[in-house]
Each structure stands twice: as C-alpha cells, then as structure tokens.
Structure 1
C-alpha cells in the first residue's frame, strides 16, 4: 500500500484495504524503523558459513563464545528468516561386506562409544565419494575418547592397502603400554589376515559390528554424514587433487576447530589437551 500512495489517495487505499488509519500508520512506522536484529543476523550468517552450514545449536554456541547473549529460539527464528538451513545428512552407499558372519571377531564394543582416555577405543570404516566419473575411497581411524581422526588413507579402490595404511599410521601413534580396541564392520578388509596381523603385533584387540547393522558403528557413520554434508555435497570438486586437498583441510578443521557436543563444545584437539592437563 505504501508504494501505491504515489498514485492514489490514502483515504481511498485505506477504505479498499479495510484498515483503520491508525493501523496503517503503525505499520508504516515499523516499516521505516531499522531492523533491530541486523547486527545479530550478520553474526548468525558469518557463524553459519564458518561452521560449514551447521544447525542453530552450533550457531548459538558460537555466538555465545563471541559474547552475544541470545536465546536458541531467537537464533532458530532468525536463521529461518535468513533461509539458513542445515540439510539432512544422506546415508552412504558403499558396502564392503563380502565374508562370513561372526567368523573373525565378536562385537566386543557392543555400542559402548565412551572412553576415559586416549587410545582405548578406535573405530574405522570405509566410505565412497564420486568425483566426476571416478570413485574415491576414504578410510579414517577415529579415537572415541575425543572423536579425533588420528589417521586416514585415500585410494582409487577399496583395497586391503587402503585400510591397512590408515591402521599402520594410527598404530604408529601409540605409546608404550597402549592397546586399543579397534572396531569395524565385517568388510572383507577387516577379515583379512593382514589386518588381523597388524592388530595382533601391536597388542590391539579386534571388534566387529554384526552384519548389516550400521548402528554398531554409529559414531564413524555419523562422522561420514557430517563430512559429506559439510565438505562434499555442496561443493563441486573439479579434480581428484582438488578433492583430496579439500578433504585434508576438512580433517584439520574437524580435529582442531569444529566444536562437538561429546567434547563439551570443544574441538577434539582442545578437549584432549584440556583432559590431559587436568
């Protein structure tokens, strides 16, 4: 109606709209008033971008760290107004199972994803990415104490060397006397004697999910979901080299900067440093 005032009389417009004059002038005053949330919206947009499109709880936490005093509901409302949406994560498609059920190792972990110190419990798996017309496979090892990715390997095929390379790198970080429980699914790589030999030589124990039960390895599955939403699905990687560089950057960010609810809002590295200093 405000735009039409240049061409039509106000009393005519009010009568057609069925508004009281006081109502019109009230809303006109609100329209002309500066947005009281303009600075907060800018801070929300920045926090959303810097935290790779994460949800309102993470954005709220980052705002509180920056000194803002604002409710979660307000952050959620303003994010909706700004169209800042945290997408639903997609499940992975790669399945590595090719062996027998329960022939190699029991589910020793039994969905107890807690650890009281570093290098008590590790989880691992393989996931798949498609870069143009090629597939790339990624095998990380995560420490359940702080959810830190302590090693990983990337390959053009899901070979034994892919998984054993990431395991060898992780085992090299162990200190004397440390013997982690290493949990995986029943993929053929984890049933192979080369994998089992590495664990045995390091004094580590093996644990395996039950067949076709991804909840038994839920933490690494959740990590894959975050990785693909925050690094992969919304970016076009023009080459394998560009993808591997982006992946390396993401792992560094995940370990050193990305806050995690399990770590009381701290990054894995910050949480471990704080815990070991206590």
Structure 2
C-alpha cells in the first residue's frame, strides 16, 4: 500500500496479516520497501512469536521477489506463494484488508513524517 506525506513524498506500507486468524501482525512504513525489510520484519515476528508461517502469500512486488527474502524463506522452510500478475482476486483477504487500511487510516490522516505515519499505522492496527 502506498500513500503520501504532507510534503508529497511517497511512502509505502507493508502489511503482514495472518490469513487464518485475520490478525494484523505488523505494518511497516518506509520510503521504499526492499526484500531486506520484509526479512527483518519476519525475523522480528519469528523472535516475538517463536513460530513461522508455513507459507507467505504475496503479490509480485519487488520486495517479495527479492533474493534475500527467497533465501530467508528457503532457510526457514517457508513456502512463497505468489499471486498471478494483475490478479488481485488471488489475494482477496489482503486486498480487502488493505482497502480497509486505506479507508480507515490512510485517507483520514495527514502524515508529517515517516515516524508519524508509523505511529498512526500502529495505532490503527
């Protein structure tokens, strides 16, 4: 999901959602998202929860098709499940979740900085 700060600079938000429990495990805001960011967040969740997902369902964004995330997933026995390009219906729950995030948070807040955006995203979560 992407949005703008008050000065027009774009930022992106990575959402990590458990498809079974529907719980939002993490939202991370950054200027750009790289595979290393996804790995760092997944490692933090692994340490916090002492468990890993069996699979990660994702679109074909550059942060998900990176070598670093592929290596991390392989080393931890996690299967990467990619949706077909241009087919958001392959990930209906996350698309719905991201739509709610946009409607209930991104569209109603004015973000002064990345830190401000992260704080508001955490409060929404």
TM-score above 0.5: yes
Category of TM-score, reference length = shorter chain: 0.7 to 0.9
Higher helix share: 1
Alpha-carbon distance in 2 for matches of 1:204, 1:146 = 18
Judging changes above 3 Å, is the alpha-carbon distance between structure 1 residues 179 and 231 closer, same or farther for their aligned structure 2 residues?
A: closer
Report 1 or 2 for greater relative contact order, CA contacts < 8 Å, sequence distance ≥ 6.
Answer: 2
Other-structure match for 2:37: 162
RMSD: 1.8
Alpha-carbon distance in 1 for matches of 2:29, 2:56 = 19
Other-structure match for 2:20: 145
SS in 2 for 1:145: coil
Aligned length: 123
Does residue 106 of structure 2 align to residue 206 of structure 1? no
Question: TM-score w.r.t. structure 1 length?
Answer: 0.41
Q: What is the CA distance between 1:210 and its match in structure 2?
A: 0.6
Alpha-carbon distance in 2 for matches of 1:217, 1:130 = 24
Other-structure match for 1:240: 114
Judging changes above 3 Å, is the alpha-carbon distance between structure 1 residues 186 and 238 closer, same or farther for their aligned structure 2 residues?
A: closer
SS in 1 for 2:64: helix
SS in 2 for 1:224: helix
Q: For residues 226-237 of structure 1, what are the structure 2 equivalents within 5 Å?
A: 226-237=100-111
Q: Quick check: 2:84–2:90 contact (8 Å CA) kept in 1?
A: yes
User: Alpha-carbon deviations, 1:24-80, whole Å to 9, x = none?
Assistant: xxxxxxxxxxxxxxxxxxxxxxxxxxxxxxxxxxxxxxxxxxxxxxxxxxxxxxxxx
Higher strand share: 2
Of the three residues 218, 226, 230, the one matched with 2:92 is 218
Other-structure match for 1:99: none
Alpha-carbon distance in 2 for matches of 1:224, 1:200 = 27
Judging changes above 3 Å, is the alpha-carbon distance between structure 1 residues 144 and 163 closer, same or farther for their aligned structure 2 residues?
A: same
Unaligned stretches of 5+ in structure 2? Answer: none
Alpha-carbon distance in 1 for matches of 2:116, 2:62 = 29
Find the structure with the greater CA-based Rg: 1
Unaligned stretches of 5+ in structure 1? Answer: 1-126, 252-278
Does residue 15 of structure 2 align to residue 131 of structure 1? no
Q: Quick check: 1:129–1:135 contact (8 Å CA) kept in 2?
A: yes
